[in-house]
Amino acid sequence: MYDFLWNAASFIVALGLLITAHEYGHFYVARRCGVRVERFSIGFGKALWRRTGKDGTEYVVAMIPLGGYVKMLDERVDEVPEAQKDQAFNRKSVWARIAIVAAGPIANFIFAVIALYIMYLIGVPSMKPVIDGTRENSPAAVIAVTEPMQILAVSGQKVRNWEEVNLALVGHIGDDSLSLTVAPLMRLEGQGGDERTFTLDTRSWRFDPERESPIATLGLDMLRQEILPKVASVTKGSAAEAAGVREGDEIIGIDGVSYGGWEWFVSTIQASANKTIALTVKRDGEQLVLSATPKAGKGPDGKEIGLIGIMPAASELPEAMRIQLQYGVLDSLAVAADKTWQLTVVSFKMIGKLFTGDVSVKNLSGPISIAQGAGNSANYGLVYFLGFLALISVNLGIINLLPLPVLDGGHLLYYFVEVITGKPVSEKVQEIGFRFGAALLLMLMSIALFNDFARL
């Protein structure tokens, strides 16, 4: 219940901020173009709070936080007094209408830059993208790794941490090849070594972004912390807590079989759903045999697996592996703008790959997945929540630019047709377009919601 409430609260905060930014973009430019704004609403349905400003605009916060709108004076919607007709949206030039409609998505991109700017001012603790091997018969097998090597660039795009590597790789789904620039970690520490670029054949590279990491499926072995046979934490309400497992316990074995590594431990537990096992641990120099019954849960493939609720301890990575992505007042702005551009490019690529079939519609996410993402990022702290806001804001801006008549992009399409032809698109054509756009959008939303429920 706590997770649900936390995710819901984080989702409402995130969506509220993003909707406010989007609608304020429309509101601000409309006012600058001389259009009278009658209502600025965050949310739909019954008003929870309302106030009329000195400018005559009614400001509203409504009950359903799944959108918002800016109601402008418009002769196509209501009768407008003669004295106010010059303030009506439909009386403005086509370029003014284009500016007003485009301002919403543009505001989302600006919001993303601001969120990332604050994030980089605060600083993001990260790990350098270092690999210690590659897997046979994988696209990355062409890279001969004899010592830890840091990934410096993906197809010419510089990367500083694993998140940036992941983002860059996702943009190459469906491509025939990509390149990785790597260098021995010691060279970056001033001890010599050469930078090399390898071209990877990715024609047979396929994976599910929802379940698999592009890094692992490409065949790259990340240099990780060594997982120790020691309990770092025990999940509340878990099978381990019920069995009496404590933080600091050393795992000795299961059912008389000696501990064979963390992967062995996980696979043994997963195969023991609802089965009682004898878990041997060492505590204060004394061996104890605890009776535990792993709870049944669903694995990534939907099959039943056992879950015990233990988080293992891990060894410390060298300090040279750590990196703090933190910049000054001016540099943070440049880095934030560049990161927003990268997110935008990758998002457009992914939309294109949905149409080409390189990315499955199963990867579409709806409000439930977004709520979980909001809650998880908020759990990690402010800098991660800001990064999440930037990502969703960019996607919201892009979605609204799609040429579907019910979205901003559809309105822009009509206005650009008007620019070319010199006359507005007929009401009949617009109505047909709106019906088609609404049907397509409803279909996409239904698929996204279905995917959300399937992941639960």
Closest CA to 218 of 194, 198, 189: 198
Q: What is the pLDDT of residue 36?
A: 93
What region, left, alpha or beta, does residue 77 occupy, with left being phi > 0 and alpha being psi -120 to 50 degrees? alpha
Residue with tokens 């019920």: 242
Beta-carbon contacts of residue 388 (< 8 Å; ≥ 6 apart): 14, 373, 374, 377, 378
What's the rounded Cα separation, in Å, for the pair 339 and 120?
A: 11
Common-topology check for domains 124-225+318-324 and 227-315: yes
What's the rounded Cα separation, in Å, for the pair 89 and 292?
A: 68
Given a cut of 70, the residues of the chain with pLDDT beneath it are 1-4, 186-193, 208-211, 300-302, 356-376, 447-456
Check residue 261 and report its DSSP letter: -
Provide the CATH number for the domain formed by 124-225+318-324 in this structure: 2.30.42.10
What's the rounded Cα separation, in Å, for the pair 44 and 30?
A: 21
What's the rounded Cα separation, in Å, for the pair 447 and 384?
A: 28
End-to-end CA distance of the chain: 15
**Could you give the C-alpha distances from 228 to 180, 250, 252, in angstroms and in order?**
31, 9, 11
Q: What is the pLDDT of residue 451?
A: 61
Residue with tokens 């056992």: 306
What's the rounded Cα separation, in Å, for the pair 179 and 155?
A: 5
**Helices 427-455 and 408-421: angle between axes, nearest 10 degrees:** 150
Q: Point out the catalytic residue in the list 23, 38, 147, 286.
A: 23
**Cα 133 off chain centre by:** 28
- Catalytic site residue 164? no
In what helix (H) or strand (E) does residue 228 lie, and over which residues does it extend? strand 227-234
Could you state, in order of their start, the residue ranges of all structural domains in the chain? 97-123+326-456, 124-225+318-324, 227-315
Q: What DSSP line would sit under 288-347, residue for residue?
A: EEEEE-PEEEE-TTS-EEEE--EEEEEPPPPGGGEEEE---HHHHHHHHHHHHHHHHHHH
What's the rounded Cα separation, in Å, for the pair 239 and 293?
A: 6
Q: What is the pLDDT of residue 424?
A: 86
What's the rounded Cα separation, in Å, for the pair 119 and 109?
A: 15
**Could you give the C-alpha distances from 65 to 13, 49, 117, 366, 449, in angstroms and in order?**
9, 13, 26, 15, 17
What's the rounded Cα separation, in Å, for the pair 207 and 211?
A: 8
Provide the CATH number for the domain formed by 227-315 in this structure: 2.30.42.10
